[in-house]
Amino acid sequence: MFGESSFLAMLAKGGYTIIILIIFSVLSVAVFLERLKSFYAVRIKLLEEVKNKVRSMVLSGKISDAVNYCDSFSIKWLFWKVQCPLLTVFKAILFSHSKNKDELSDLAMRATDKEMIGLEKYLGILGTLGNISLYVGLFGTVLGIMHAFRALALQSAVGPSVVANGIAEALVNTAAGLFVAVTAVIFYNY
């Protein structure tokens, strides 16, 4: 039954549940790539380079140059220009450089917290997709088994060919649900 089937024919056996799982899969990959783009700008080597450059400008008294550097600095990643989140923290400190050390520390912590929220954006979608994809696949499995039993009840001849399509639907949905869930969880954890 599966020996001569193409991948698309196998997916077609999954029914409507596969459409939902394909949408989940595409959404999962899209969120992963979007987050990868954001995290690309937070590499340790880059952060050190930016920090040293801003520090040297500040120590030489060129505050406005440091602010301009923070505004103009971006990294090219695939098709996007990505801003380094640390630069927003630096700009918040540079605009308030005349405050005392404790006030600057509080300001830096608030700016860092705000940037962390931005870095965690959309990760809940990946976590949710990782959890519910299993259940959507299980739902498709139940539908496939129901179709198998319905076919068994309607046919007078009993044999494996009577229930084969329902079992195939069940297995394809189980596999697809597991695939989408596992990849979403891997993306989330990465």
158 Rama sector, left if φ>0, alpha if ψ -120 to 50, beta otherwise = beta
Beta bridge partners of 80: 77
Predicted confidence band at 21 (pLDDT cuts at 50, 70, 90)?
very high
Q: pTM of the predicted model, to two decimals?
A: 0.73
Rg (CA), the chain: 26
The angle at the Cα of 45, spanning 43 to 48, to the nearest 5 degrees, equals 105
Q: What one-character DSSP code corresponds to residue 100?
A: -
Report pLDDT digits (tens) over 127-173: 999 999 999 999 999 998 998 888 888 887 777 777 888 888 888 89
Region of poorest pLDDT, from 21-35, 89-103, 174-188: 89-103
* Dihedrals phi, psi of 75, to nearest 5 degrees: -120, 140
- Tell me, what's the pLDDT at 177? 93
In residues, how long is the chain? 190
Per-residue model confidence (pLDDT) at position 4: 56
pLDDT-derived band at 44 (thresholds 50, 70, 90) equals low
Q: What is the pLDDT of residues 97-112, one digit of tens each?
A: 777 888 888 888 888 8
Whole-Å CA distances, 160 to 1, 31, 108, 141, 152: 11, 42, 68, 18, 9
Residue 83: pLDDT band (50, 70, 90) is: confident
Confidence at residue 99, expressed as pLDDT on a 0 to 100 scale? 79
Mean pLDDT calculated for residue range 37-66: 78
